[in-house]
Amino acid sequence: MNTLTATVFDNTLNFVGEGPLWHPITQTLYWVDFPNHLLHSKKGDHKAVQRLDDMVTALAWVNNETLLLASDKGLNTYNTSTHKHIFLCSVEADKPDNRSNDGRADPWGGFWISTMHTDAKENKGAIYRFYNGVVTQVVSDLTIPNGICFDKKRAKAYYADSAVQKIYCLDVNSDTGAPIGDAVIFFDYSNTQVSPDGAVIDSEGNMWTALWDGARVDCISPDAKVIRSLETQTPRPTCPAFGDDGTTLYVTSAQCGLEDTPFDAIPHGATLVFKNAVKGALEPCVKIDGF
């Protein structure tokens, strides 16, 4: 397979760019620079930036003009036309030192959101599922939970703990997406200098995971083999997302810790793109009563 070259999709330098979301109806890419409370969007040549009150770290789409935002305060809907927020629920109201981190819609209409301690204290984080208006805990005792993604065909959910450099796999109910049993280690990076960050599953069930301090996105098959790697040309890619017709891979990145590091083609913190990467699966919507 031919090597693909990353190009700059948007040259805004994000301190920590995260949560890329391609809205398949509006054909718009959304992402956040969460430490700066910024929501970015770009459709064609039109770019918009909205400053948010809360520190939003993950996104999903609900309908044409409604997004689901996961923040340090909980889950909100957000109208992209009026910028109106509607609070849905808190996630860890009893843990004021925790914040949201990764999140992704599942193919059954739910939304999974991870939490972590603001200082990344060990085993203080967890992953929750929002489904039919109810939040339930999926797994606990994580440090930097990331890489939430789903393989509907195989009824699998995946997540990573970046602090221990491992990716885990969890069976889910094929009809409802509810987790079943205990997670097992799917892939282990702990003998390397890289940490798995955000991830997404393509139409064949392969995982594409961004590697913090790895300057690449690895493609891992369902049987846990690295079958391809895409060089990002910046050390800290954070999360991939499929967009356009599903063959485009967008990747957010972080400038954090690289402010004085020279770069070549890809500025640290830019949002980059790989064209004709693979046939990906576009994001499903989150189902919320009343929307």
Identify whether the C-beta of residue 16 lies closer than 8 Å to the C-beta of residue 238. yes
Average pLDDT, the chain: 97
Per-residue pLDDT, 1? 45
Query: Which neighbouring-strand residues pair with 285?
Result: none
Cβ-in-10-Å burial (0-12, 13-18, 19+) of 3 comes to exposed
Tell me, what CATH number does 211's domain have?
2.120.10.30
Domain of residue 216: give its range.
7-274
Per-residue pLDDT, 279? 86
CA 161, 139, 30 angle in degrees (round to 5)? 60
What CA–CA distance (Å, rounded) separates 287 from 290? 9
Contacts 24+ apart (CB under 8 A), 71-80: 71/99, 71/100, 72/98, 72/99, 72/100, 75/111, 75/113, 75/130, 75/135, 77/288, 77/291, 78/39, 80/26, 80/41
What CA–CA distance (Å, rounded) separates 17 from 162? 16
CA 70, 149, 55 angle in degrees (round to 5)? 20
Identify whether the C-beta of residue 103 lies closer than 8 Å to the C-beta of residue 126. no
* Residue 131 included in any domain: yes
* Residue 181 included in any domain: yes
182 vs 2: which has the higher pLDDT: 182
Per-residue pLDDT, 247? 95
Question: Which structure tokens are listed for 275?
Answer: 């064209």
Reported as a single tens digit per residue, the pLDDT across 97-153 is: 999 999 999 999 999 999 999 999 999 999 999 999 999 999 999 999 999 999 999
What CA–CA distance (Å, rounded) separates 250 from 228? 16
* Residue 66 included in any domain: yes
DSSP secondary-structure letter at 284?
P
* Residue 280 included in any domain: no
The residue-averaged pLDDT of 185-214 equals 98
* Residue 18 included in any domain: yes
Annotation says 151 is catalytic: no
Residue corresponding to tokens 């576009």:
282
Q: Does pLDDT of 163 surpass 70?
A: yes
The residue-averaged pLDDT of 181-193 equals 98
φ/ψ of 278, rounded to 5, equals -175, 170
What CA–CA distance (Å, rounded) separates 253 from 272? 8
Cα-Cα-Cα-Cα dihedral sign, residues 55, 250, 237, 187 = positive
CA torsion, ordered 194, 35, 101, 38, to nearest 10 deg:
-120
Query: SS3 for 36?
Result: helix
Looking at the structure of the chain, the number of domains it has is: 1
* Residue 134 included in any domain: yes
Reported as a single tens digit per residue, the pLDDT across 131-142 is: 999 999 999 999
Reported as a single tens digit per residue, the pLDDT across 230-277 is: 999 999 999 999 999 999 999 999 999 999 999 998 999 999 999 998
Catalytic residue among 10, 106, 151, 197: 197
* Residue 287 included in any domain: no
Identify whether the C-beta of residue 222 lies closer than 8 Å to the C-beta of residue 246. no
Reported as a single tens digit per residue, the pLDDT across 76-93 is: 999 999 999 999 999 999
Residue 174: pLDDT band with limits 50, 70, 90: very high
